[in-house]
Structures are given as C-alpha cells and as structure tokens.
Amino acid sequence: MSCCRKLVITVVFSFLTLFVIAQDSTRVFPTHWFTGMKNRDLQLIFYNKSKNLSGENWVVQSADPAIKVKRFYKNPNRHYLIVDVEIAPNAQPGKYLLKFGGLALNEWSKIWFELKPRSPQNGKTRIKGINSTDLIYLIMPDRFSNGDTTNDRIAGLRDQSIDRNNYFKRHGADLKGIQNHLNYLQQLGATALWLNPVLLNDMLDRNEHGYAFTDHYTIDPRLGGANAYHELIDSIHKRGMKIIQDAVYNHVGIEHFLYRDLPDSSWFHWWPIYTNTTFKDQVLMDPYASTIDKKRMSDGWFTEKMPDLNQNNPQVASFLIQHAIWCTEEFGIDGWRIDTYAYNDLDFMNRCNKALLNEYPQLHLFGETWVHGIPNQSFFTRNQYNIPYKSNLPGVTDFQLNLYGIVPALTQEVGWTEGVNRLYGTTANDFVYADPMKNVIFLDNHDISRFFSVVGEDVAKQKMGLAWLFTFRGIPQLYYGTEIGMKNFADPDGKVRLDFPGGWAGDSANKFEPGGRTPAESEVYNYVRTLANFRKTSPALTTGKLMQYVPEDGVYVYFRYTAQQTVLCVMNPTDQEKEIDMHRFEERIKTFTQARNVIDGTVIDITNKLKVPAKTLWVGELVR
C-alpha cells in the first residue's frame, strides 16, 4: 500500500496556542493558520529534536473532510515529518485533532493545531500598505529604548551579556521601549515604523542587529516576545500609523534548529570548502558572466555564521513563503523590507512576492539593493527593460539616490557630472523604473555612515539633506537619531548603532524631551518636525509629480506639484548666496506670484528674482 493511501489527517485548529498532548514536545510550523486564504495549500512541518516522527509503517490520521491530505514526506532525518495538505474553502475556525504514529506499535503523537479567521480589518486599520504619503522611521530595537528591564537576560539563551560600552553587544532595548515613545515618533511626523529583525536570534555573538534568525516562529523574548510585538503593533495601528517587518530569506543564523538538525542536506548550499558570496551583483545581469561566478554570488554564504538557504528546494521555499504570509496576517504587517535582496534566488523571490501580493494586494514590498549603478538597482525591481529576467518587486531601497545623488550633491564641488549635477543626472534616469515613487529614499541607515558625519557635522548641510528627503519623489525613510544629529561612521567600530540618548533609565541626557537637547540638536529636530508634518498634509510632496531643471551656477531647482498645490525647492549647496532668475521656471510657476516659506511662513515675491542663502535648500509653497 502506498504512503498516500495510508495517509489520513486530522487538523485541529484552536484560537491561540499550540497544545501538546501527553507531554509530547513536537512542534509544528506554521504554528497555526487562517481560514479564508486565497491559496489553500499548506505545508506542515512537524519537528521533535528528541523523537522520531516517522517510521517504516507510520501513518497520519484524520477524520475531518475540511482537510484534504495531498502527500507526506519521510525525511532522512526522522525528527521531521512534512505533510502537504489542502484546506477546504468552507473550513471553519475550530479544533481538529491531528494524530500520527505507528499502528502496530500503538505509538501516537497528538497535537492540536489552530485555525484563526482572517482579520476583517485587513486593508482598513491593518495591512494597509506603505506608499509615498508615508514617512518611515527606522529603529534598531536593541538601541532605541529599554522599556522592560525584566527581559534583558533570558535564561536558556546563549548570550547572557548586556554591555552598553561595547557597540557589538546587546544593550537591552526592546519593543516596550518603542511603544513608550510612540507620542514622540508621531509628533515628529513619522507615519510608519520599520524595525530591524524582531525574530529570535539565539546566537552567542552579534545579537544587536537581528539578521541571524534561529527560530522563525518566535519573537525574540529579549525584545518582549510575541505579546509585546502584538501590543506595539496594536498601539501603532490605533494611532493610524503602520509597521514594516524586516524579512531575511537568504540565510539563517548558524544556531537555527533547521541547520543544527537538518531535515536533509538539500536545505542549504554546500561547498567543498567555505565559500563566501562575492557580493558581485553584476554577474546576475552580465551577458558574459560565467556559471561559477553566478553560483558564488547567489549560493555563497553571507558570513560563516549565516548558512545560505537553498530556495530551489520546494520545502524551503514553502517554509519561507508561508512564514511571510503568517506574519503578515498574525501581526498585521503593512509592509516588508527584504534584506540582501540580490543574494536570493531571484525566481524564488518572484514567487514569494507574488504569493504575498496575491493574499494582500495593498501590501508594499521593497528590497535592499545595496548595489552600484542604476541599471543594477533597477534590475531587481519592476522596470522598463525587455530582458529575460523580469522582477515583480514593487520597490527598492534607493541606494543610487543616496550614493550617487544627495551625498555627492552636498559633499562635492560642482562639475559637469559632480555635485548637484550628480543628483540631477541620477534622477533623470528614473525612466528605467516602472514606478520610482515606490522606491524608499534615505540619508542613512544601520549599515552606512551617519549623514551628519558624511557632511562634516555641518548643521546647514544636514538640514539641506533633510529638506531633500522630505520633498523628493519616493518614500522617505529617516534613521533613528538623525533628527537630533547623531553622528559617526560605519567603519570600523559600529558607532552608527549607538543608543538613542534617554532610552535608558539613568542616561545623562534625554533627547526625547526638549530640555535634553542642545541648541544645535533642537535646531535640527524642530526643522525635521516642521517639514515632516507639513509633508503629511501636502499633496504635492506626498503624491505629486516631480519636475527638475538642469543645475546652473551650482544651484539645483525642482518642483513637486499637483493640480491643487505646487512646491518650489531650490538647493544651493555653495558657500555664497545665489540670486535666481525666476523667469526660467514659468512653465511651473504659471500665474503664481508669491511663495510661502514652509519653515518660517514668510511670503516672498517670485515674479522676478529669488535670493537663496548659502548652504540652503529653500522650500516654498506657491501662492497667488
């Protein structure tokens, strides 16, 4: 008799928790699922690190027609049992008992598995998507605020250290700390929070960044666990704000149970000797690239502590895709930032993106594309190219507008292709994207140098960069602390991930409060708050079109506009005041005669000349 004819399954769905019968420590992934999903196929992975879950004559039994069993797999490692099922379209939330084991031995494992209803608030108060009307605030959860000191150390986890004097150690901040400062974030003008990974990273070293998962279905208890994550997101959504989760599909941490206790060897990429990725994304689009170079780029490990997942294995692909869908529904995720996008199998990424957007069309996905060159970056997102590989990723982190846009504009002398001309030229190549407004623009993040340091700790240039961030096309992302001028370079000591001052009891200064900021910090903070909150209600800056003019005399002029509003932006990064002849811009100025300074409210005449101070990005709303 075949395995499939023997296989009958019962699935028990309850409301919250995986129940274990008769002290059975078997886990199941996903831990529960949901009714009403468009895709009703589901892969269940049962795991018990100390018990065999399959044998020669073992079966899985079910008596409920709500579950149709398609097949099951006896993995070489019998600590695993993988079962493919199809959930009936009329399946209801409730309890279904699942039992599997050996008939002759009368040895059975029994588990309750849960099925929850999909939230009726999807697309309304949760899972709303991220778009150009938003301002994303990026937080490193371990470095923002410690709201619950009882979870600083968790018994049983490998890393028991808390050392705020070491930039590469855990510092103890958590999700409760973020929740405690939602007023600060909302008043600043943020509408969406992107958190570096919150999943369990039970690694001995380098826990602060969170990119080495060791259990996909456990929110790190040192951050507060699932309850704290639910509470934070519920609080965010009640304020009309949004949440972005960080996805890592390319690799896991070396302590992940799937690596330490392999279902089978095909779950990861293996090499005769350790082989790192080359980080050369060019080979993926290079018409002359060798096969081995492509393989090393995609299948090489990111680091020795991050095993590279084989996404061509259907079980691996299903595990990753289901987890993303599960998190979206379970927590109400509004958007996903996808880590190390270029290093994944790109066909898998198209499949994963499609699966998420099929269930949640309003969801926004944007991938980390830390690459060099506009063709390279646009290759990984929806684009205008007629080439064999077509990405379905909606947007990317726009490193090109950072590395080859705003940074040279404010740090280089003006030349034919230098300074503001670099920003102009990079923007002119937006024609390659299907929709550049879906790209996320930024000044800095957790991997690159703080913008304030990049511009030489010049407050005027810091404010120019911020003005550009809030007035340009795309979705702006602000890194925590940029609003108070936090500084330092990415290499070699990781100081771009310093703690937010005031996030810990006993900090010498509390930058969350006006009284804790220096005059220079207050100047930048107030500038951010003014511009960010103006942007919230500005149709031109959130959804308007962009028109730019070729830079002249070191000055770069662009407009954001809709039928209802026009905003004029004049960037003068030079050391001299510039007088601009406004007749050149009649196409956009039209019948407007005045402009109201967005920062201080002063109204000036723009019918003839406009004087722009040195090192200023002047932003004005046109009025008649």
In a domain, residue 338? The reply is yes
In tens, the pLDDT along 101-131 reads 876 656 777 888 889 999 999 999 999 999 9
Q: 440 — phi, psi (to 5°)?
A: -100, 120
- Residue 5 pLDDT greater than 90, yes or no: no
Q: What is the CATH number of the domain that holds 64?
A: 2.60.40.10
pLDDT number for residue 106: 63
pLDDT number for residue 110: 82
In tens, the pLDDT along 272-323 reads 999 999 999 999 999 999 999 999 999 999 999 999 999 999 999 999 999 9
Which amino acid belongs to residue 128?
K
Contacts of 497 (CB under 8 A, 6+ apart): 140, 143, 167, 208, 209, 446
- Which secondary-structure segment (H or E) carries 73? strand 67-73
| Under 8 Å between Cβ of 604 and 620 | yes
Check the CA dihedral 405-409-414-420 and report its sign: positive
Question: 521 in helix, strand or coil?
Answer: helix
Q: 30 — phi, psi (to 5°)?
A: -65, 155
Q: Is 54 left (phi over 0), alpha (psi -120 to 50) or beta?
A: beta
426 shares its domain with 558: no
Choosing from 159, 255, 339, 521, the catalytic residue is 339
33 shares its domain with 154: no
In tens, the pLDDT along 449-500 reads 999 999 999 999 999 999 999 999 999 999 999 999 999 999 877 899 999 9
What DSSP string runs through 349-410?
Answer: HHHHHHHHHHH-TT-EEEE----SSHHHHHHTSSBS--SS------EEB-HHHIIIIIHHHH
**Measuring CA to CA, which residue among 364, 439, 361, 431 is closest to residue 398?**
439
Contacts of 482 (CB under 8 A, 6+ apart): 443, 444, 450, 451, 452, 466, 528
Q: What is the CATH number of the domain that holds 408?
A: 3.20.20.80
Domain count, the chain: 3
Measure Cα distances from 340 to 297, 369, 371, 373, 380 in Å: 12, 7, 10, 16, 11
Report the alpha-carbon distance of residue 61 to residue 19 in Å, rounded.
18
47 shares its domain with 147: no
In a domain, residue 17? The reply is yes
Most confident among 4-8, 55-59, 454-458 (mean pLDDT): 454-458
- Residue 21 pLDDT greater than 80, yes or no: no
In a domain, residue 449? The reply is yes
Report the alpha-carbon distance of residue 562 to residue 427 in Å, rounded.
19
320 shares its domain with 423: yes
- Could you tell me the two tokens for 401? 């507008």
Residue 65: which pLDDT band, with cuts at 50, 70 and 90? confident
167 shares its domain with 83: no
150 shares its domain with 232: yes
- Could you tell me the two tokens for 79? 């600590």
Q: What angle do CA 130, 133, 137 make, to 5 degrees?
A: 65
Among candidate residues 516, 536, 556, the one where a domain is terminated: 536
Q: 564 — phi, psi (to 5°)?
A: -95, -25
Contacts of 413 (CB under 8 A, 6+ apart): 419
In a domain, residue 15? The reply is yes
In a domain, residue 275? The reply is no
In a domain, residue 483? The reply is yes
Q: Is 553 left (phi over 0), alpha (psi -120 to 50) or beta?
A: left
Active site residue 581: no
Q: What is the CATH number of the domain that holds 562?
A: 2.60.40.1180
Report the alpha-carbon distance of residue 485 to residue 498 in Å, rounded.
12
In a domain, residue 264? The reply is no
89 shares its domain with 150: no
* More confident call, 400 vs 25: 400
pLDDT mean across residues, the chain? 93
Contacts of 384 (CB under 8 A, 6+ apart): 431, 432, 433, 434
| Residue 102 bridge partners (DSSP) | 58, 107
Among candidate residues 485, 514, 536, the one where a domain is terminated: 536
Among candidate residues 117, 150, 175, the one where a domain is terminated: 117
DSSP 437: G
Domain region containing 40: 3-117
248 shares its domain with 336: yes
| Under 8 Å between Cβ of 195 and 139 | yes
In a domain, residue 267? The reply is no
Choosing from 142, 255, 334, 368, the catalytic residue is 368
Report the alpha-carbon distance of residue 380 to residue 439 in Å, rounded.
12
396 shares its domain with 471: yes
Sheet holding 80-87, edge to edge: 27-29, 41-47, 80-87, 67-73
Report the alpha-carbon distance of residue 100 to residue 109 in Å, rounded.
5
86 shares its domain with 173: no
421 shares its domain with 330: yes
404 shares its domain with 444: yes
| Under 8 Å between Cβ of 366 and 438 | yes
| Average of per-residue pLDDT across 164-170 | 92
- Residue 100 pLDDT greater than 90, yes or no: no
Active site residue 308: no
